[in-house]
A and B are shown apart, each in its own frame.
Chain A
Amino acid sequence: MTDATVLRTEDLSIGYRRVRNAPVVVASDLNFSLQPGELVCLLGPNGAGKSTLMRTLARLQPPLSGQIWLDERRLDDLRPGQLARRLSIVLTDRVDVGAMSGYGLVSLGRHPYTGWTGTLNEQDERIVQWALQAVRAKDMSDRLTVEMSDGERQKVLIARALAQQPRVMLLDEPTAFLDLPRRVEVMDLLRQLASENSQAILLSTHDLDLALRNADRLWLLSADGELFDGAPEDLILNGAFERVFSAEGVTFDRERGSFHTRQEACGRLRLEGDGVAAFWTRRALERIGYAVEKEGENGNSASYASNLHPRQSVSGAVSVRMEDGRLLYRLDSGGREDSFTSLNELTTYLRRGGAGGDTDAKVDEDLYARR
């Protein structure tokens, strides 16, 4: 990776001009840069102006003030064709090109390089093939785009943007309509494309987890137009996430890098057990509102202490272990011991008031029968 900056902004102000009134400023005094070979994820609450920023960087709308430099040239000074050879975009809009093959769609990306008929020469054809291969979509070459799944079409659209051979690729929520495995695949692909082709890739997303795992840097755009720039981990540690996403009833869990709804814990349970089973048991118990204390851990871990009512004490213990090749869950509470064969049984029992002081709990007959 070189130090060369491929895109940088100088006191950039973005927003909308209105006919008679003062312009709507979405964000101002933005100074940031993109380096070749890095994947940057743009995160922010809805309405913070992520799309406005992307559109401004792609020159689809003018900035209110400030400068954008692309390849050390002012964005405004580039002719449309020159810009198209340096910067390409993938939009959220659904694309309906009618009866067109994947190859045909990707070859539209060669438009900035071809003549007036748009006919590809041998080099263009080689680049289209390369782009399809780069997104692992070579088998989609002859297939019609209308017959592709959302994930396949998204890959082909990325290949189209790649065929423009840009220095910077901007993607607006490229994972929005994809299922989880496809989202992981696309993110992974983009990270590789950035480093293999020394391109700068900027994408906006709501997928916090994937962004934290894949991005070289994050840009957090807050609702009041502040941009936090840094490695994902830095932004977690310096509290930028809380500032950007602060909202009623939601807290950011720094330990896990995810958001939780803020609620009072309904009880505290100690958990005994190891490995994956213990991990998911903890998740299940937390989901139904218990504060979980792992055996041997100090129960005062930062995130949960804040949620827990001070006078609540440990109301029981849950243990999970393998017995005869099956997982068995034991609940020890109020001097009673119950065992369950699935987390569903355990959580159902707990939700109906099984553990913790509520002696009048109506416990389903059926549940006892199953024990």
Chain B
Amino acid sequence: MSRENVPFAASDVRVQASLTRRIAAGPGLLLAGLALLALAAFMLSLAVGSVRIPLDEIVAVLLGGDASKPAWATIVLKFRLPKALTAMLAGAALSVSGLQMQTLFRNPLAGPFVLGISSGASLGVALTVLLAGVAVGLGGSTTLLAGISLAGDTSLALSAIVGSGLVLLLVMSVARKVQSGMTLLILGLMFGYTTSALVSVLIYFSVVERIQAYISWTFGSFGGVTWRQLQVMAPAILLGLAGGHLLMKPLNALLLGETYALSLGLNVRRVRLGIIGSSAILAGVVTAFCGPIGFLGIAVPHLCRSLLHTSDHRLLLPAVTFMGATLAVGADIVAGLPGSQLTLPLNAVTALLGAPVVIWVILRQRNLRQAFAG
């Protein structure tokens, strides 16, 4: 009614703007904290295991020096370092992929595993591992390849990427038509059943050693990745992570829903393909080298949202990267049962630790909508 409300003093704006900047400094500190936490987890994972190695010795080895015991240098450089790097990359990759899926599908239960991306990757790997065995068996030669060559790793990764990418494209094409998140979840579930059925058919006709290899792959492990394999895995994941971070603005626009995103000038179709692409690379590559690792992808975005109290992807993307890396390394440390010679299947640990965390986060929210970003 009164026109006095409309004009406003410029100084007023400046105060308000500086206030918002100060508020933004909080999350910045939190991000730095999360990065330090990831670094600490990384160092810890180098230190603990069946043998305990002092931190100063690790630093010396990492800087190219010698450890007081030569065996320690070997343990750190040949076993623990690639494993820790793999865990960090995998955790970051799965978490970013999960965040992207939750925002794209506007569903708090979405994640790389739930929508069948990992199932697709599993089928791809099963086809490669088990069918190759059948082919070799039919060819008359029963000798199994003792180690997997670099070319072999690449084909394994490729088959996982193709498998996960195909599933995602299928989910997306259906997603465009149905628009209901629940339908998509059921669809993902059905993909899971279908792929496991196909895998069991493959297992039925395969040879025991191949089956063993496939089953131990499904347990999930960061330990099996060698330096040579890391040369394939690390660039692919870093590429996927970079792609994911480039999409922070479109992801924020998608929080409003696709129609609003479109009205904001977003090329929704292209962005959707970009999200699917980076998500498929991230989830597919991790699944190929480490097995289908559950839970991290769903749990980490929820943890970060409740920690940072925001659904802004400019903060969430780096946050889930650090948090995912930290938790993956943490889960690996627990699975290694420090001080013992035993190891637990990684997937058992992520689920046993992850499920209660998700339950706790969800119950703490007054309303589920607050817990996720869509």
- Nearest chain B CB to A303's CB is how many angstroms away? 34
Q: Across the interface, do B260 and A89 meet the contact criterion of CB distance under 8 Å?
A: yes
Q: Is A220 an interface residue (CB 8 A)?
A: no
| Interface contact B311-A97, CB-CB below 8 Å | yes
A314 touches B (CB below 8 Å): no
Distance between A94 CB and nearest chain B CB, rounded to angstroms: 9
Q: Please name all residues of chain A whose beta carbon is closer than 8 Å to the beta carbon of B52 when the two chains form the complex.
A: none
Q: How far is the CB of B303 from chain A (nearest CB, A)?
A: 13
Name the residue on A nearest B312 (C-beta).
A104
Closest to B16 in A: A129
Give per-residue flags for B79-100: 1 if the beta carbon is below 8 A from chain A beta carbons, else 0: 0000000000000000000000
Contact B263 A60 (CB under 8 A): yes
Which residues of chain A have C-beta atoms less than 8 A from B262's C-beta?
60, 80
Contact with B along A82-107 (1 / 0, CB 8 A): 11110111010101111110011000
B135 proximal to A (CB < 8 A) = no
Q: How far is the CB of B366 from chain A (nearest CB, A)?
A: 9
Q: Does A224 contact B (CB under 8 A)?
A: no
- Whether A60 touches B17, Cβ cut-off 8 Å, given contacts A80-B266, A84-B265, A112-B264, is no
Using known A-B contacts A91-B259, A117-B314, A196-B6, determine if residue A111 contacts B373 with beta carbons closer than 8 Å: no
Q: A97-B256, A125-B20 are in contact. Are A136 and B265 (CB under 8 A)?
A: no
Contact B369 A93 (CB under 8 A): no
A267 CB-CB contact with B under 8 Å: no
Contact string against A for B residues 269-296, beta-carbon threshold 8 Å, 1 for contact and 0 otherwise: 0000000000000000000000000000
Q: Which residue of B lies closest to A87 (CB)?
A: B263
Contacts of A3-20 to chain B: CB distance below 8 A: none
A112-150 with Cβ < 8 A to chain B: 112, 114, 116-119, 122, 125-126, 129-130, 133-134, 136, 141-142, 144, 146
Question: Does A164 touch B at the CB level, under 8 Å?
Answer: yes
Asked if A44 CB lies within 8 Å of chain B CBs, one says no
How far is B330's CA from A36's CA once the two chains are assembled, in angstroms? 60
B264–A111 touching, CB < 8 Å: yes
**Which residues of A lie under 8 Å from residue B370 when comparing CB positions?**
98-99, 144, 146
Residues on A with C-beta less than 8 A from B5 are 133, 136
B374 at the interface (CB under 8 A from A): yes
B226-274 at interface with A (beta carbon < 8 Å) = 246, 248-249, 252-253, 255-257, 259-260, 262-267
> Within 8 Å of chain B (Cβ to Cβ): is A210?
no
Asked if A81 lies at the interface with its beta carbon under 8 angstroms from chain B, I say: yes
A122 to B13, CA, bound (A): 9
* Interface membership of A108, Cβ < 8 A: yes
Residues in chain A near residue B248, CB distance under 8 A: 117-118
Give complex CA distance A88, B20 in Å.
25
A-side contacts of B17, CB under 8 Å: 122, 125-126, 129
Chain A proximity of B310: nearest CB distance (Å) = 5
B367 on interface, CB distance cutoff 8 Å: yes
| Beta-carbon contact of A108 and B263 below 8 Å | no
Q: In the complex, which residue of chain A has the Cβ closest to the Cβ of B263?
A: A89
Chain B residue nearest to A84 in the complex (CB): B265
Within 8 A of A (CB), among B279-328: 305, 309-312, 314
- Asked if A63 lies at the interface with its beta carbon under 8 angstroms from chain B, I say no
A79 to B249 alpha-carbon distance, docked (Å):
18
- A58 on interface, CB distance cutoff 8 Å: yes
Given contacts A122-B17, A196-B6, contact A100 B312 (CB under 8 A): yes
A119–B17 Cα gap in the complex (Å)? Answer: 13
A109 close to chain B: CB less than 8 A: yes
Which residues, 319 to 374 on B, are CB-close (under 8 Å) to A? 367, 369-374
Q: Are B263 and A98 in contact (CB under 8 A)?
A: no
Other-chain residue from B6, B266, B314 in contact with A111 (beta carbon distance below 8 A): B266
Per the bound structure, the CA–CA distance linking A99 and B307 in Å amounts to 11
Q: Which residues of chain B have a CB within 8 Å of any CB of chain A?
A: 1, 3, 5-6, 8, 12-13, 16-17, 20, 23, 106, 246, 248-249, 252-253, 255-257, 259-260, 262-267, 305, 309-312, 314, 367, 369-374
For the A-B complex with A80-B265, A111-B265, A133-B8 known, give 15 more contacts whose Cβ atoms are closer than 8 Å: A83-B265, A89-B260, A89-B263, A91-B259, A93-B257, A100-B310, A111-B253, A116-B246, A118-B248, A126-B13, A129-B17, A136-B5, A141-B16, A146-B370, A164-B264
| 8 sample A-B contacts, Cβ–Cβ < 8 Å, listed by A number | A80-B267, A84-B263, A84-B264, A89-B263, A91-B259, A98-B371, A104-B312, A129-B17
A residues with a Cβ closer than 8 A to B are 58, 60, 79-85, 87-89, 91, 93, 95-100, 103-104, 108-109, 111-112, 114, 116-119, 122, 125-126, 129-130, 133-134, 136, 141-142, 144, 146, 164, 188, 196
